[in-house]
A and B are shown apart, each in its own frame.
Chain A
Amino acid sequence: MKKFLVTFFKLLLVLVVLSVLLNAIVLKTTKPDYRRNEIENLVQKMDAFEADGDSINTVFIGTSRSYRHISPMVFDSITNEHSYNMAFEGLYPFRSYDLINKFIKSSPRYKEIENVFIEIAPLDAIAENSNNNAFVNSITLKKYSIAVKSVLSRQFPIKNKLYYIYYYTKLCVYKYMGFGLIARINQSVGLSKALDFKDKPSQSYRAIVAANEGFLSLDDEQRILRGNKVLTSRKEFIKNATGILKQFKQQYPQSQNQAQEDVFDRYIINNAKALQRDGKKVYFILPPRQLDFSTKYLLEQKAVLEKSGFTVFDFSDPVKYPQFYSFENSFDKTHLNKKGALIYSELLAKQSMSIN
């Protein structure tokens, strides 16, 4: 048995080393297609953004807390801008900046854009994303280093620190060991399926996001795209809405430590300053309904960004903004419903007007 185990682990080590080497060769010699490796509905949004008939001078970028909450039509009616909601589910910071650097900056529309609103969001660590191609393709050794250093320097619960490190290590292992590499090889030799979005669900999705400048509330998704089938997150929220909403208020930090800039803040600031050098005005948004220990950390990030000269629209405080923590305006634990989203968009627009 001992001989078997020793032989097995030796072979496993050789396999790992050879896989990493072969994978490195493939990664070096093939150019990844950003659009092809992104989630299909986000690609549809990119297409709709480029095909939009009007000039776009403002974009919103972030996770579902921006995608489901910011209506460009409401925003534009108050500010007289022409905006587009490029946020999407799960577009956490690394992928948000990938969207900016790999798509928006190379889009013909980039020169029209004057204002960029970026959501402040925590580092992604959702288990289901750890072997999702979009997340795996996004990770690099540099981003891994930023994530791990940031997590270690923050006062997160130890359990969460370990989970973050495990999650980002898993993403790196997936990428650098070659998991899912065949998709990249097939793309580079022209053997992958073109995205045509001709099926009915894709066409329905495209129509609705194009009509709403990229915005799609969860109510509309449930009603129009899912045939009124109640989403699981909604069902779970309704079971304990009072408790959940009360918890947000109880967990909101009453005070915070002096914010120290960390390597992740620096990453965000560098990306924002690059946009500013291109003549864009950059604003940050801290949306409501953050989870658990994230709020404190995001408030610290907000303080660092403000110290660096950026404007941050902070809607996270349940005392200042009770309307974003009320049942009437909620869809599920972390999202507003359409009514709440329209109120949110209006408030964002008015605050934006007041500083310009």
Chain B
Amino acid sequence: MIGLFNNLIVLCFFKYYNFFIDSVQSALDVAGVHINPFILTIALPVGISFYTFHGMSYVIDIYRGNTKPTKSIVDYSVFVCFFPLLVAGPIERATHLLPQVSQKRVFSFEKGKDALKQILWGLFKKIVIADTCATYVNEIFANYHTASSSLLILGAIYFAFQIYCDFSGYSDIALGSARLLGFELLINFRYPYFSRDIAEFWRRWHISLSSWFRDYLYFPLGGSRVKDIFKIRNTFVIFLVSGFWHGANWTFIVWGGLHALFYIPLLLRKKNRNNIDIVGLVPSFKDFISICLTFLLVSLAWIFFRAPTVSDAYHYIVRIFSTQPTAIPAYYFSILPFIVLMFAIEWAGKMHDHPLHFTNTGKVWRYITYFVLAFSVISHISGEANSFIYFQF
């Protein structure tokens, strides 16, 4: 309890203090009571949400008997602060990473090659897709009150691409960097936008976080082996806490709540484990429609994730349905060839941990692909640095 408390108090103090104070102040203002609380003006330590969860999983796994406490402070420090995953995950488990820290590692040429490919793939997603989409998304969301419905829809879709490529790109770079050093980290993304339903999406998106909540919160609450009313409660708890984990803002809570609403019907109808294997190379018409619908639902929820306030997100969505579509300026489509390339490569490589793990492709085509990706990265590196979205968490 002390271990958990230590980690949580640090997280709550740095991340949530101002949010709670603001919320209490707003509620009291409505009741006619005005207070002037002390507001913290200190910087949020980078990656706090990630390494506090490392610490908590270590304590819980020891308590459950899943792992023994390590006697080496150095090994423990490496586990908690391993630099590739320090600032944006994946959230590692002591049972997975600690044994690797304590054992001897030998450099492998094949793993080194694979690591570089994964790093290249991560760089392509981050620098080419995520950063370019970010400029359009920022413009559209900043001016949503005058944008047409077509532009707003494009903004939501581009944000879906931005956050996926930003976060999974970082994960790929982290996994590749760790593999160069002889570590195998938990895979964090398994092509989530090819999901046929929300349940599958959550098995493929930010896997380390969703599995952490599943193992340390959902299962202790009873999971899905309880009455329906408790299943609903547990699902809401998980998704709301997951939303809250992302940030001290009501938008993240609404985002989590929306996903809970999308998930619960599948859970109650026992259809949440329908799509375990990834969709085939040539999807059926039904699968294709399911993928598109799932993507639309996820993109709708992303609007709340991106908007600065719930009110902005609400008005953004209202405008999508209440304004006339207009022609979208051509420059917004300059990134499309790269997005198509990304999805084509991911579709072809979705059976593997990362899509550049080519096995059946000729050497010439492989090297052409690597060159195209590398040159795309070089040509997109501009004077402005864009940080990773999940650094703020």
Contacts and interface: CB of A to CB of B under 8 A. Distances in A.
Interface of A: 1, 3-4, 7-8, 11, 15, 18-19, 22, 131-133, 136, 177-183, 185-186, 190-193
Contacts of B382: 131, 133, 179-180, 183
B378 interface: yes
A15 B374 contact: yes
A178 B109 CA distance: 30
Given A18-B375, A191-B333, A182 B109 contact: no
16 contacts: A1-B112, A4-B113, A8-B116, A15-B371, A18-B371, A131-B381, A131-B383, A178-B378, A179-B382, A180-B381, A181-B378, A182-B380, A183-B382, A186-B331, A191-B330, A191-B334
Interface string B189-223: 00000000000000000000000000000000000
Contacts of B371: 15, 18
B140 to A, nearest CB: 12
Nearest to A11: B370
Given A19-B375, A132-B383, A192 B334 contact: yes
Interface in B215-243: none
Which bucket holds chain B's interface residue count? 20 to 34
Contacts of B112: 1, 4
A267 to B, nearest CB: 25
Contacts of B330: 190-191
B36 interface: no
Contacts of A11: 370
B62 to A, nearest CB: 36
A210 B18 CA distance: 44
B294 to A, nearest CB: 30
Contacts of A192: 331, 334
Contact of B379 (A3, A136, A182, A193): A182
Contact of A179 (B329, B331, B374, B378): B378
A264 B113 CA distance: 47
B379 A178 contact: yes
A324 B139 CA distance: 43
Contacts of A185: 379
Contacts of A3: 109
B178 to A, nearest CB: 16
Nearest to B128: A182
B247 to A, nearest CB: 27
Given A18-B371, A179-B378, A180-B380, 10 more contacts: A4-B107, A4-B109, A131-B382, A131-B383, A133-B382, A177-B378, A178-B379, A179-B382, A182-B376, A186-B331
Interface string B153-186: 0000000000000000000000000000000000
* Chain A interface, >50% SS class: helix
Interface of B: 107, 109, 112-113, 116, 329-331, 333-334, 370-371, 374-376, 378-383
Main secondary structure of the interface of B (DSSP, over half): helix
A193 B109 CA distance: 45
A191 B331 contact: yes
Closest CB pairs A-B (n = 5)? A191-B334, A181-B379, A131-B383, A180-B382, A182-B379
A186 B336 CA distance: 12
B331 A180 contact: no
Nearest to A135: B383
A186 B334 CA distance: 7
Nearest to B371: A18
Contacts of A181: 378-379
A15 B112 CA distance: 18
B375 to A, nearest CB: 6
B363 to A, nearest CB: 13
B143 to A, nearest CB: 9
Contacts of A179: 378-379, 381-382
Nearest to A186: B334
Given A15-B374, A191-B330, A180 B383 contact: yes
B113 A178 contact: no
Given A4-B107, A8-B116, A193 B378 contact: no
A4 B334 CA distance: 36
A183 B379 CA distance: 8
Nearest to B108: A4
A180 B333 contact: no
A22 B375 contact: yes
Nearest to A132: B383
Contacts of A18: 371, 375
Contacts of A183: 382
Given A4-B107, A186-B331, A193-B329, A133 B380 contact: no
Nearest to B139: A193
Contacts of A132: 383
A13 to B, nearest CB: 13
A190 B380 CA distance: 17
A11 B370 CA distance: 10
A179 to B, nearest CB: 5
A210 B316 CA distance: 37
A42 B260 CA distance: 51
A19 B382 CA distance: 16
B379 A180 contact: yes
B10 to A, nearest CB: 32
A11 B107 CA distance: 19
Contacts of A190: 330
A183 B132 CA distance: 11
A220 to B, nearest CB: 27
Contacts of A177: 378
A170 to B, nearest CB: 12
A183 B334 CA distance: 10
B337 to A, nearest CB: 10
B48 to A, nearest CB: 28
Counting chain B CB atoms within 10 Å of each CB, the highest count among A15, A132, A182, A192 belongs to: A182
A1 B116 CA distance: 13
Contacts of A15: 371, 374-375
Given A191-B333, A192-B334, A1 B107 contact: yes
B206 to A, nearest CB: 29
B114 to A, nearest CB: 11
Contacts of B376: 182
Q: Tell which of A136, A181, A190 has the most Cβ of chain B within 10 Å.
A: A181
Contacts of B378: 19, 177-179, 181
Contacts of A22: 375
Contacts of A8: 116
Nearest to A185: B379
A200 to B, nearest CB: 12
Contacts of A131: 381-383
